Amino acid sequence: MKLNKILSDLDKYTSFKECLDWDEDLADYLVKSWKRDQKLLSIVPRSLHPTYMTSYLPPKYNHLVYTLVNWLKQNENNEQD
């Protein structure tokens, strides 16, 4: 059902912002950057996606690296189920 998909996506985006300490600007920046560089991501081995995607964090957010990697791994696994 379409509503379930929308609610699931909203839930993921909310948890994404939560892992970034609720920094909505940072969340928007990362999503836009990943979308812009989607072709680059496609050539990175799948096992390295979370690490590669975390490299987009600006230096002042280095304290969020582990949280973001874990979030990306968890949600990547959920997508494969």
Neighbours of 34 (CB within 10 A): 15
The predicted-structure confidence for 3-24, as pLDDT tens digits, reads as follows 888 888 889 999 999 999 999 9
Q: Which residue has the tokens 């969020």?
A: 64
Q: Note the pLDDT tens digit of each residue in 40-54.
A: 989 999 999 999 999
Q: What is the mean predicted confidence (pLDDT) over 50-65?
A: 95
pTM of the model: 0.82
Better-scored residue on pLDDT, 31 or 79: 31
Across the range 45-71, mean pLDDT stands at 94
3 state DSSP class of 23: coil
CB contact burial 39-74 (16+ within 10 A = b; e otherwise): eeeeeeeeeebbebbbebbeeebeebeeebbebbee
Count of structural domains, the chain: 1
| Domain of 9, in residue numbers | 2-80
